[in-house]
Amino acid sequence: MTTRRTMLQALAGAALLPSSLPVLAAAAAPEGEALKEIARRKGLRFGTAVGGGRNQFGDPAYRALVERECSIIVAENEMKWQALEPARDAYRFEPADAMLAWAERSKMTMRGHNLFWQAEKWLPAWLAKEDFGADRSRAERLMRKHVQTVCRHYGTRIASWDVVNEAIDPADGKLRQNALTRAFARGAGAIDQIDLAFRLAHEYAPHAQLVYNDYMRGDSGSTKHRAGVLAMLAELKKRGTPIHALGLQAHIGSWDESPERGREDMLQWRRFLDEATAMGYDLLITEFDVNDRRLPADIAQRDAGVAAAARDFLDVTLSYPRLSDFLLWGMADHISWLQTWDEAPRADKLPMRPCPYDAQLRPKPLRQAIADAMRTMPARRA
């Protein structure tokens, strides 16, 4: 591969006139070929989540970085139910619409995230408080109104939806309960509500790829989570639920108690992906980043550890040709959700370094690991 540095070295070796160097420097971005280009050659789309705040969508330099590297984006928060309908019947589409308009102008496609987030704490506050009692049909009408309103608003401009997000409780592998699922208690419970969510999405966005999105990992702390997701996917397949793909959030790195992702974790991960794809589901990486909580403070060592963990994970995950989209949950360290995630901070309280660019938007070894993994992965289906 020809990076700017190798090109400069070659030119220096060939004793070219120094006056030719600035021309070359201007022509090549410092990080070489764009990640979206490397991905495109293999039939993959590469992208990131973009947050609506001042340091992401509001920052021209950050936007330019996203435009340069990405062919697909997703709103970090702006299409969530609580963002679109913060108070009952008071829809607020403008922030998400502005992002979609930018994506279209910049020739990037945009995914939808998400129609139903099963964790009660992330439902709109007005809905989380709701008690439907035994009135399942009232809950169904509300779900229909939500999907109809949002999917009609976006039409075919959104071609892939995370229809249901995080339905499985990692602690026991069971389906999470919330104000909506409780209304379905007279039937089979949460699985009926999830089934309906996908059927509604299919009704109002018949063109769209419909995705179940979750954060299960390969490590032993995630064993019940993986089993619960597979059991749910098997049940939905049995019911003929219109669901096309499994979204792998891929928040990897230091999460559970095992210090490193070992060989065994990767075997378990592969087994999980084998089972999901054997059921006929496509795959996407929807929210990739690398938690560096247990890596040393030293930046060179930390960045190398993050890059190595990414490479191990990506070599396995990108080996599945059914996986056709790869999105990060942020391009640069300073904007990552992990900086403010206080449930599991670094012991030394240093800022995290989970993304391929640093706070000055300079590429890090993780960017190289992502580029290398995409260069060596098999080509996708046509």
Query: Is residue 249 near ligand 9MR by the rule CB under 6 A?
Result: yes
- Give the phi and the psi of residue 47 in degrees, each rounded to 5: -170, -160
Selected from 69, 265, 287, 292, the binder of ligand 9MR by CB under 6 A is: 287
Residue nearest to ligand 9MR (CB): 337
Nearer to ligand 9MR, 167 or 371 (CB): 167
Nearer to ligand 9MR, 76 or 130 (CB): 76
The C-alpha angle with vertex 290 and arms to 369 and 322, in degrees rounded to 5, equals 65
The H-assigned helical ranges of 28-135 are 35-41, 60-69, 81-84, 94-105, 125-128
Nearer to ligand 9MR, 77 or 149 (CB): 77
Least distance in Å: CB of 120 to ligand 9MR? Answer: 13
Nearer to ligand 9MR, 38 or 284 (CB): 284
Nearer to ligand 9MR, 79 or 377 (CB): 79
Nearer to ligand 9MR, 109 or 165 (CB): 165
What is the spatial distance between Cα 67 and Cα 340, in angstroms, rounded to a whole number?
25
End-to-end alpha-carbon separation of the chain, Å? 24
Contact 313, 272 (CB under 8 A): no
The three-state secondary structure class of 210 is strand
What is the spatial distance between Cα 303 and Cα 309, in angstroms, rounded to a whole number?
10
Cα radius of gyration (the chain): 22
Nearer to ligand 9MR, 317 or 368 (CB): 317
What is the spatial distance between Cα 286 and Cα 284, in angstroms, rounded to a whole number?
6
Tokens 């992965």 locate to 377
Query: Is residue 277 near ligand 9MR by the rule CB under 6 A?
Result: no
Selected from 81, 93, 122, 255, the binder of ligand 9MR by CB under 6 A is: 122
Of residues 311 through 340, those in contact with ligand 9MR by CB under 6 A are 337
Least distance in Å: CB of 214 to ligand 9MR? Answer: 8
What is the spatial distance between Cα 77 and Cα 72, in angstroms, rounded to a whole number?
16
Helix, strand, coil percent content, the chain, rounded in steps of 5: 45, 15, 40
Least distance in Å: CB of 180 to ligand 9MR? Answer: 17
Nearer to ligand 9MR, 76 or 333 (CB): 76
Of residues 167 through 206, those in contact with ligand 9MR by CB under 6 A are none
Least distance in Å: CB of 29 to ligand 9MR? Answer: 27
| H-run or E-run covering 202 | helix 190-204
Least distance in Å: CB of 261 to ligand 9MR? Answer: 19
CA nearest neighbour of 73 among 377, 382, 289, 326: 326
Query: Is residue 77 near ligand 9MR by the rule CB under 6 A?
Result: yes
- Give the phi and the psi of residue 291 in degrees, each rounded to 5: -70, 120
Least distance in Å: CB of 12 to ligand 9MR? Answer: 44
Of residues 47 through 76, those in contact with ligand 9MR by CB under 6 A are 76
Amino acid letter, 202? H
* Size of interface with ligand 9MR, in residues (CB under 6 A): 9
- Contact residues for ligand 9MR, defined by CB under 6 A: 76-77, 80, 122, 165, 215, 249, 287, 337
